[in-house]
Structure 1
Amino acid sequence: MRTLLDLILPQDCAGCGRLGVGWCAECAESLGGQPVRVWPRTDPGVPCWALGRYAGPRRRAVVAVKEHHRRDLVAPLGRELARGLAGLRTPRRPLVLVPAPVRRAAVRRRGGDPVGRVARVAASLLTDCEVASVLRADRGVRDSVGLGPMQRRRNLAGRITTPAGSLPEALRHPDAEVVLVDDVLTTGATASESIRALERVAVHVRAVLVTSAA
């Protein structure tokens, strides 16, 4: 029952631990940064942008959404993502957000795809913007925690795919700007393999935008 109540009425701030509020004003201010170019060790071949560093309230918010089912934080993270995308997109071109793939075991454990939820909030706040959740991580993909750059690349090589059949109409639009979105950019292995999977089905990714860069 306490866990259920915490989901509905969080007892402390996910960013700083302040009692009585789920996300305090001070931590909310920490999600106001502009996208900054980052260069991961594994180059995905397109520009990579991050809204902030994987530290402080931002890091704790990401972890709370992913591992502690804090869905109340999806909205502020989605609003920040929307602001970042608004500054990067080309005017008058449709925008398609492709969430990075999540392992099936993680989806079950987390009760869904947190990155997809954040992307959908962002898309709802932008004009002519859609979410296309077309990337899949095969069963052989291991949890990347503790893996080095080379191990991460080997873990993902050829194991991120798109579903068989036709792609969503949004991804086939000739003028669409496709952006891969994720919560954390660490070595760049996931982004690189995701972009290769999309290129195999003739989807050209313009950029990667993440909530935080490690």
Structure 2
Amino acid sequence: MDLLLPRRCAGCAAPGEHLCPRCRQALRTPPRRIHTRVDPHVPVWSLGPYDGTHRRVVLAMKEHRHLAVRGMLGPVLAAAVEFLQVRGEIDAAPAPVLVPAPTRARAARLRGGDPVADVCRASGLAVSEALRHRPGVADQVGLGVAKRRSNLAGALELRRIPPGRVLLVDDVATTGSTLAASSEALLAAGCRVVGAIVICHA
């Protein structure tokens, strides 16, 4: 199969591995606090800017259905959560439950499943897919700050109440609209949302 369909790095397209050593190293960047244009109501941390390796890996797992790289990002996410716990930015115990920001059902079908939820499950941490889109929500791609916010106003609903403390997870923070809508739905239900973490930020 490698002769017919050579394995290439999701981060740089180098042949041989799903993620080459150089791109693995790039993804090991410790999470840092970021601020988004829309107030997400909770602290937000990012593993890096939406550029270079981070951008290509996110596109590979979302738009190119690179399922293997989703599993490889799980330990990266787990290490980032542990880093925040060790630094005291998130309480060490009990560990937070990961709640992936929801993906529209049609987008998930086209992508071979929900990539953010797949990464969360691959982390080995507790996961609750507590949020979903209401019918009729438009794709956020190409929308400005105001339209992204209005598109998601009241557009998310709880499928279930996640137990314990909650850490939101998303792939990219662009304006913060998705994180804001997600945290609002959880906070309104009485959940304790300790923050949000994203693979990269634009």
Q: Is the 8 A contact 1:149 1:187 kept in 2?
A: yes
How far the C-alpha of 1:9 sits from its partner, in A, is 6.0
> Secondary structure in 2 aligned to 1:80?
helix
Query: May I ask how many residue pairs the two structures share in their alignment?
Result: 196
For 1:86, the equivalent position in structure 2 comes to: 82
Alignment of 1:117-136 (within 5 A): 117-122=118-123, 124=124, 129-136=125-132
How far the C-alpha of 1:92 sits from its partner, in A, is 2.4
CA offsets 1:107-164 (integer angstroms, 9 cap, x no match): 1111211100101111x1xxxx41000100122111111100000001100001112x
Length-normalised TM-score, structure 1: 0.86
CA RMSD of aligned residues (A): 1.7
Q: Is the 8 A contact 1:9 1:22 kept in 2?
A: no
Q: Is the 8 A contact 2:165 2:191 kept in 1?
A: no
Alignment of 1:32-43 (within 5 A): 32-43=28-39
CA distance in 2, matches of 1:17, 1:192: 34
CA distance in 2, matches of 1:49, 1:68: 25
Q: Is the 8 A contact 1:78 1:119 kept in 2?
A: yes
> Secondary structure in 2 aligned to 1:180?
strand
Length-normalised TM-score, structure 2: 0.91
Aligned letter for 2:108?
V
For 2:88, the equivalent position in structure 1 comes to: none
For 2:188, the equivalent position in structure 1 comes to: 200
Q: Does residue 26 in structure 1 map to residue 14 in structure 2?
A: no
For 2:140, the equivalent position in structure 1 comes to: 144
> Secondary structure in 2 aligned to 1:131?
coil
Alignment of 1:67-86 (within 5 A): 67-86=63-82
Q: Is the 8 A contact 1:10 1:22 kept in 2?
A: no
For 1:44, the equivalent position in structure 2 comes to: 40
- Which runs of no fewer than 5 residues in structure 2 stay unpaired? 86-90
CA distance in 2, matches of 1:53, 1:80: 15
